[in-house]
Amino acid sequence: MERSRIAVAGASGLIGGALVRSLTADGHAVVRLVRRAPRAEDEVRWDPERRYVDTAGLAGCDAVVNLAGAGVGSRRWTDAYKARIRSSRVLGTATLAEAVASLDVPPRVFVNGSAIGIYGETGDRAVDEDAPPGDGFLPTVCVEWEAAAAPARKAGVRTAFARTGLVVAREGGAWGRLFPLVKAGLGGRMGDGRQYWSFVSLHDEVAAIRHLIDTDGLSGPFNLTAPQPLTNREITEAMGRVLRRPTAFTVPAPVLRAALGEMAGDVLGSQRVLPMRLLESGFTFAFPEIEGAIRAAL
């Protein structure tokens, strides 16, 4: 891809920060959307709750990427925090999609974050992008999240949804908490360990988003997960092998539910998600297996 001007919302997050570093390293001009007064030339003000974007700062952008949203695993899911999880995604997406649609010369592509949480509990059943949404809080949020991008799509902007799995990284997310536990010899399976975790290395997550930006014709949902999901037990054992630490501890399901509340369902739930559309589009994973993804994170 030729050097481009790309706007990124959520640039301070785990995935957004890695994406900005990758794009910048390749010579692209990155515009970061911030919720405060801009302090640098590459910053543009936006306020999702007030549905405001300084659209002048988006002028000339070839792509707009929205990865903004309150962390799902950041804290216990109180009613107030669940409302924040939803609004940060739905209002943020609607605000950016409307801004994109209003531009005299809109960007070529709008890549919007989403999550494999849209499928809900799948058990041992493998699902791809053709599967319908599941039931519950996260599936409902994801459906509304993607629907909020409608203004960009209706304006003729190619719109792709990055349905992200569990990102293997030291800096944050589920693995940001798992690595220290395993290194301390306190790692172990969660619940019965039979639940599937659909993982993706941070490297491949960023590469896949860039693939969605760069490849003409790619629109709609794409699962950003490694080709072979594994059970929590298998992933725990792999972490023990790579880090050379015992993983004999088990966190019983009732303990997780007591500690995490409703969020425990996201840890104990099983999602066996396949990246069919991503593979069909020609994307190649650098770290398709869990041990490689763990080593890449380290």
What ranges do the domains of the chain cover? 5-297
Q: Which residue ranges in the chain fall short of pLDDT 50?
A: none
* Whether 14 contacts 171, CB under 8 Å: yes
Instruction: Name the amino acid, one letter, at 130.
Output: D
pLDDT of residue 223: 98
Q: Regarding beta strands 109-115 and 43-47, do their DSSP bridges make them parallel or antiparallel, or are they unpaired?
A: unpaired
Residue linked to tokens 């950016």: 96
d(CA 192, CA 267): 11
pLDDT of residue 128: 98
pLDDT of residue 93: 98
* Cα–chain center distance at 255: 27
d(CA 261, CA 95): 31
Q: In residues, how long is the chain?
A: 298
pLDDT in tens, 186-217: 888 888 899 999 999 999 999 999 999 999 99
pLDDT of residue 294: 96
d(CA 291, CA 237): 10
pLDDT of residue 143: 98
pTM for the predicted model, two decimal places: 0.94
Tokens of 77: 């899911």
Tokens of 207: 């590469």
pLDDT of residue 134: 96
* Whether 78 contacts 262, CB under 8 Å: no
pLDDT of residue 250: 80
Distances (CA, A) of 63 to 99, 139, 249: 13, 27, 46
Taking the CA atoms of 195, 294, 261 and 48 in sequence, report the sign of the dihedral they define: negative
Q: Running DSSP on this structure, what letter comes out for residue 152?
A: H
Pick the CATH number of 5-297 from 3.40.50.300, 1.10.10.60, 3.40.640.10, 3.40.50.720: 3.40.50.720
Q: Facing residues of 159 across strands?
A: 110
